[in-house]
Chains A and B, each alone.
Chain A
Amino acid sequence: MSVVLKSVSLRYPGREEKALKNVSLEIKKGEIYGILGPTGSGKSSLMWSLNGLTTEKLHARLEGDIIVDGLNTKEHTAAELAQHVGLVLSDPSYSIVSTRVLDDVGFGPSNLGLPTEEIQSRIYYALQATRLSGFENRNTNDLSGGETQALAIAGVLAMKPQILVLDEPLCLLDPIGKYFVLGVIKRLNEEYGATIIISEAGGDIEPFAQFVDGIALIVNGEVKAQGDPSEVFEEREMLVRAGIMSPQVTELGWKLRGANLVQGRLPVTLENLKELVSPLLKEKVQGIGIDRKSAQHLKEPVSAKNPIIKVRNLHIWFPGVRKGEWIKALNGVSFDIYEGDFLGLIGQNGSGKSTLSLSLVGLLKPTNPDAQVIVDGINIHQKKTSIPEIIKHINYTFQNPDDMLFTETPYDEVSYAFKLQGMSRDKYLPLVDQALKTWGIEDIKNEPIMNLTKDKKTLLANAVITSMNPKILIIDEPTTGLDYAGGNKVLSILKKINEEQGKTIIVITHNMKLVAEYARHVIALKSGEILMQGSTREVFANPEKLKEAWLSPPQITQFCQSMTQYGFPSDVLTIDEAFKEVTRLYGSN
Chain B
Amino acid sequence: MVRIEYEYKETFMHRMHPITKLVIIGCISTVSNAWWDLRFVIPLFTLECILCYLSKVPRNWMLYFIPLSAIAWFLNAGVVWATMSEEFFLVLPHEWVRTEILQITPRGTPIVGYMAITYGTLYYLVSSLFKGYASFSIIVTGTTLIYTLNPLDLCQVLIQYKVPMARTLSFMLMAAFRFMGVLTRSLEKIFKSQYLRGWTISKRNPVKAIKAAAPMVFPIGREIVTTVDKVSISTAIRAFGAGQPAPTRIWNLTTIDKIVIITVIPLTAIAYILASIPPYIGMI
Contacts and interface: CB of A to CB of B under 8 A. Distances in A.
Contact of A109 (B6, B59, B236, B248): B248
A156 B235 CA distance: 11
Interface in A237-293: none
The A interface, classified by DSSP as helix, strand, loop or mixed, is: mixed
Interface in B168-197: 174-175, 177-178, 181-182, 186, 189-190, 192-197
Contacts of B215: 406, 416
A159 interface: yes
A318 B1 CA distance: 6
Interface stretch (A87-95, A497-505, A556-564): A87-95
A504 to B, nearest CB: 17
Nearest to A398: B193
A403 interface: yes
Contacts of B248: 102-103, 106-107, 109-110, 116, 119-120, 123
A94 B233 contact: yes
Nearest to A322: B58
B198 to A, nearest CB: 5
B44 to A, nearest CB: 25
Interface string B209-243: 00000110111001100000011111111111111
Contacts of A82: 236-239, 242
A187 B3 CA distance: 36
A103 B151 CA distance: 11
Chain A: interface residue count, which band?
Answer: 35 or more
Given A95-B234, A103-B174, A321-B7, A116 B250 contact: yes
A387 B202 CA distance: 14
Among B60, B239, B248, max chain A CB count under 10 A is at B239
A96 B234 contact: yes
Interface string B1-37: 1110111100000000000000000000000000000
B249 A116 contact: yes
Contacts, number: 183
Interface string A77-90: 11110110011010
A107 B237 CA distance: 11
Given A109-B248, A387-B198, A464-B197, A103 B152 contact: yes
B245 interface: yes
B101 to A, nearest CB: 47
B8 A137 contact: yes
Interface stretch (A24-32, A51-59, A477-485, A577-585): A51-59
B247 interface: yes
Contact of B182 (A93, A103, A109, A406): A93
Interface stretch (A194-202, A295-303, A388-396, A536-544): A388-396
A79 B235 CA distance: 8
Contacts of A95: 234, 237-238
Given A387-B196, A420-B198, A57 B232 contact: yes
A401 to B, nearest CB: 9
Contact of B242 (A79, A363, A407): A79
A14 to B, nearest CB: 16
A90 B240 CA distance: 20
B205 interface: no
A147 to B, nearest CB: 16
Among B218, B235, B242, max chain A CB count under 10 A is at B242
A400 B185 CA distance: 13
11 contacts: A95-B234, A110-B248, A111-B245, A115-B246, A123-B248, A361-B196, A396-B196, A402-B222, A403-B186, A404-B197, A406-B214
Given A323-B58, A465-B196, 19 more contacts: A82-B237, A87-B237, A93-B182, A94-B233, A98-B177, A102-B248, A103-B152, A106-B248, A107-B174, A107-B240, A108-B239, A119-B247, A119-B248, A123-B248, A321-B58, A391-B196, A402-B223, A403-B190, A404-B193
Q: Which 7 A-B pairs have the closest CB atoms?
A: A137-B8, A106-B248, A406-B218, A79-B242, A82-B239, A113-B243, A111-B239
